[in-house]
Amino acid sequence: MEKVQLEQRAAELNKVLTQYGHEYYDLDAPTVPDAIYDQLMKELIEIEEEYPDLRFPDSPTQRVGGQTLTAFEKVTHDHPMLSLGDTFSEEDVRAFDERVRQNIGDNFRYVCELKIDGLAISLKYVDGVFVQGATRGNGTIGENITENLKTVRSVPLRLTKPVTLEARGECYMPKRSFNNLNKERAEREENLFANPRNAAAGSLRQLDPKIAASRNLSTFMYALGTNGEEFGLTCHSDALDFLEELGFRSNHERRICTSLDEVFAYIEEWTEKRPTLPYEIDGIVIKVDDYDQQQELGNTVKVPRWSIAYKFPAEEVVTKVLDIDLTVGRTGVVTPTAVLEPVLVAGTTVQRASLHNEDIIREKDIRIGDHVIIRKAGDIIPEVKQVLFDQRAEDAAPYAMPTHCPACDSELVRLEDEVALRCVNPQCFAQIAEGLAHFVSRNAMNIDGCGEKVVAQLLREGLVKDVSDLYHLKMDELIQLERMGEKSATKLIDAVEASKANSLEHLLFGLGIRHVGSKAAKILAAHFETMDALMAATEEQLTEVFEIGEKMASSLVTYFANEEVQELLSRLRDAGINMSYTGKKVDTSETDSNFNGKTIVLTGKLERLTRSEAKAKIEALGGNVTGSVSKKTDLVIAGAEAGSKLDKAEKLGIVVWDEERLIEELSE
């Protein structure tokens, strides 16, 4: 066929396939058999492959996913994509309402909407044609995921009017698609997605649009990128109708509420009806409808003052406390942990939950054998919320914290003003082991080849009594240790040697001074530059440093005043350890804490999170978790006993975080 004829045929195919697609996907009422649809689609794909200029911007072929990308481009949003302030109680909603009334009086209305649990997207159209789709990213910069969004049926490739605008909304995975997807993945023995939100995020973060195309995603658009003045709109609810007129999908459960009582009725209704919805929601969004009033209320840097999200309480499940475990930390604090009958909470299996201290166990009256309600605080860390007393066995005895250290058997004490029980024996094996493990850890002195087991061996064999002894380890002593070959011993000695040159912040963090985390250590090292200057600083001088509070200042002064500490530091100095700030970027605190767009590898044994939990969290924040380390890897999370992947990451100079750092960043 001649090109002109093909052009005409392509136009015809575009039209009919768009129509058939609409009937099939949107109306659920196909008018042609699948085979015919497939045949016509194939014909159109072939024409477009031969003459790429005949590929119309709204061609239905793009729904099946085109070329695989190598990376996502960054896009800067024309206007920041704000987030919403969260509230968790009726009281908070009342407070929000009062603030609104103080500012704009009583003459206004709210629009209440479902808070769809997916991920925020921006869709841009020029003259009615879809030109760019992006993730929210950090609100200012997102990622260009146009090709993936083109595969989402509810994203119109051409609007009903030739307008130029940006629409914002939520892309999500319906519950049914999520369940089917996980079922298929289970059959293929692939990792399961923790929840539909992660599944949607994971799908949109695939470089191959064919994967997104296969994932049955959908959208609800909930705003215009601008305030809609150019279209003569004066309020949010009209904008939603307008979006729908243009061909977008918007959520129909929204409701105009003219009083706070109506808002509460809406919340109550949807709290109840939530399980019946075909998609996940995690709360209710309350918005002042009128644009002028929205403007009057304004925005903070991150969130609007005219809207708020009421979040449903976290998912709760019942399980049994099988035991209460005790661990001794490096500061001697004895922490009780509930060992639980494994149970699925918010998509991941929970087997342990920290009980923090004796007071909490007593207040909640948690006993071994009890049935308890578990939930995830901040959606990450499992927590025992309450005991189900009516299910308690008659012979369940109140839990008594031990009077003696589970590691060294010395008497435990409870210091004044502290809730924690402590082992104050400076020779306590568990404390020293924890302290040593901390000293050698990645963000501290970063001494490789000195895992938990090696630390325990060194202590048991008396080769090390405190951290300074690490610097006097001898080859012939080391190779006598069980399972320590010449190769590992050399590696360890080399790592110890290399650590001497670390910039001051590593030592400072490694010492394990109370309240001094890796970030504070870096600030202190950069400010005081030498250990001597820091040791000489008064509380006042310390608090003058940006981000150093009184608690930390007092802890530092007390620490350095201790004679034993001074002796330890002089032993370290004699061993040749650098005690000044070299500003070398050995630590990772300058890394962007945002996971968005990063390719991340998890390796080694994680202790506080399960692998799948960590993966799910990272993916929910826009990160892409892959299995192997390559030049494309941005970040490696190394748990205990990490092996070859960690070695490779180090060779390639890739940033490495330990689990603590991961949790810190996740909870930010």
Q: How far is the CB of 594 from ligand IVH (least distance, A)?
A: 15
Enumerate residues 6+ apart whose C-beta is below 8 A from 413.
421, 422, 424
Residue 519 known to bind ligand: no
- Per CB under 6 A, the list member of 93, 116, 233, 511 interacting with ligand IVH is 116
CA distance 172 to 50: 35
- Please work out, in degrees rounded to the nearest 5, the angle formed at the alpha carbon of residue 548 by the alpha carbons of 544 and 551: 110
User: Does residue 523 belong to the site contacting ligand IVH (CB under 6 A)?
Assistant: no
Helix (H, G, I), strand (E, B) or coil at 587: coil
User: Looking at 63, 77, 115, 367, which residue binds ligand IVH (CB under 6 A)?
Assistant: 115
Does 654 bind ligand IVH (CB under 6 A)? Our answer is no
Is the CB of residue 384 less than 8 Å from the CB of residue 373?
yes
Closer to ligand IVH by CB, 285 or 616: give it: 285
For ligand IVH, the closer CB: 41 or 199: 199
If the CB atoms of residues 224 and 421 are measured against ligand IVH, the closer one turns out to be 224
Instruction: Tell me which of 149, 200, 309, 606 binds ligand IVH, using CB under 6 A.
Output: 309
Q: Which of residues 156-175 bind ligand IVH (CB under 6 A)?
A: 170
- DSSP character for 216? -
Distance CA 504, CA 484 (A): 30
The CA-atom distances, in angstroms, between 609 and each of 106, 649, 659 are 48, 21, 8
CA–CA dist 367, 371 (Å, integer) = 9
Candidates 77-85, 258-266, 331-339, 394-402: pick the segment binding ligand IVH (CB under 6 A): 77-85
Residue 80, SS3 per DSSP: coil
The response to whether 37 counts as a known ligand-binding position is: yes
Footprint on residues 532-591 left by ligand IVH (CB under 6 A): none
Backbone φ and ψ of 408, nearest 5°: -120, 0
One of 10, 13, 84, 642 touching ligand IVH (CB under 6 A): 84
Cβ 267 to ligand IVH, closest distance in Å?
Answer: 14
Site residues for ligand IVH, 207-226, by CB under 6 A, read: 222-223
Q: Which stretch binds ligand IVH (CB under 6 A): 81-89, 379-387, 555-563, 591-599?
A: 81-89
Please state the closest distance from residue 223 (CB atom) to ligand IVH, in A. 6
The enclosing H or E element of 113 equals: strand 110-116
**Between 61 and 307, CB nearer to ligand IVH:** 307
Three-class SS state of 493: helix
Q: Is the CB of 109 or the CB of 414 nearer to ligand IVH?
A: 109
CB 662 within 8 A of CB 609: yes
Both tokens of residue 344?
């699925």
Residue 159: CB minimum distance to ligand IVH, A? 21
Closest residue to ligand IVH in the complex (CB): 120
Closest CA to 237 of 136, 106, 118, 109: 109
How far is the C-alpha of 164 from the C-alpha of 226, rounded, in Å? 11
**Neighbouring C-beta atoms of residue 439, cutoff 10 Å:** 24
- Assess whether 115 carries a catalytic annotation: yes
Q: Does 595 bind ligand IVH (CB under 6 A)?
A: no
* Sites for ligand IVH among residues 117-136 (CB under 6 A): 120, 136
* CA distances in angstroms from 201 to 153, 194, 257, 381, 419, listed in the order given: 16, 11, 32, 21, 41
> Would you say 286 or 481 has its CB closer to ligand IVH?
286
- Taking CB under 6 A as the rule, which mask of x and - marks residues 276-295 in contact with ligand IVH? ---------x----------
> How far does CA 230 lie from the centroid of its chain?
38
Task: Select from 122, 219, 307, 499 the one that contacts ligand IVH (CB under 6 A).
Answer: 307
**Which of 17, 41, 54, 82 lies at the binding interface for ligand IVH (CB under 6 A)?**
82
**Which of 113/505 has CB closer to ligand IVH?**
113
Q: How far is the CB of 208 from ligand IVH (least distance, A)?
A: 24
Helix (H) or strand (E) holding 340: strand 333-345
Q: Which is nearer to ligand IVH, 147 or 170 (CB)?
A: 170
Options 42, 115, 453, 585, the catalytic residue = 115
Structure tokens at 564: 């034993």
Bin 356: left if φ > 0, else alpha if -120 < ψ < 50, else beta: left
User: C-beta of 311: minimal distance to ligand IVH in Å?
Assistant: 8
Of 223 and 534, nearer to ligand IVH (C-beta) is 223
Cβ 161 to ligand IVH, closest distance in Å? Answer: 23
Helix axes 196-204, 611-620, angle to 10 degrees: 60
Which CB, 178 or 222, lies closer to ligand IVH? 222
Closest separation in Å from C-beta 197 to ligand IVH: 10
Residues ≥6 apart with Cβ < 8 Å to 138: 594, 596
Binding positions for ligand IVH, 10-69, rule CB under 6 A? none
Rounded to a whole number of angstroms, the minimum distance from the CB of residue 284 to ligand IVH is 9
428 annotated binding-site participant: yes
Q: Which of 113, 290, 434, 505 binds ligand IVH (CB under 6 A)?
A: 113
The answer to whether 154 contacts ligand IVH (rule: CB under 6 A) is: no
Question: Is 376 labeled as ligand-binding?
Answer: no
Beta-carbon contacts of residue 544 (< 8 Å; ≥ 6 apart):
none
| H-run or E-run covering 421 | strand 421-423
Q: Which alpha helices (DSSP H) does 80-166 contain, by range? A: 90-104, 146-150
Q: Say whether residue 407 binds ligand IVH (CB under 6 A).
A: no
Residue 450 assigned as binding residue: no
What are the residue ranges of helices labelled H in 28-174? 34-50, 90-104, 146-150
Question: Least separation, in Å, of the C-beta of 376 and ligand IVH?
Answer: 17
CA-based torsion, 212, 213, 217, 219: positive or negative: positive
Interface stretch with ligand IVH, choices 71-79, 113-121, 363-371, 645-653 (CB under 6 A): 113-121
# residues near ligand IVH by CB under 6 A: 15
Task: State the pairing for strand pair 624-626/599-603.
Answer: parallel
Question: What span, in angstroms and rounded, lies between the C-alpha atoms of 471 and 473?
Answer: 6
3-state SS string over 241-293?
A: HHHHHHCCCCCCCCEEECCHHHHHHHHHHHHHHHHHCCCCEEEEEEEECEHHH
Catalytic residues: 115
Going by the annotation, the residues of the binding site for NAD(+) are: 34-38, 83-84, 113, 136, 170, 287, 311
Going by the annotation, the residues of the binding site are: 34-38, 83-84, 113, 136, 170, 287, 311, 405, 408, 423, 428
Residues near ligand IVH (CB under 6 A): 82-84, 113, 115-116, 120, 136, 170, 222-223, 285, 304, 307, 309
Going by the annotation, the residues of the binding site for Zn(2+) are: 405, 408, 423, 428
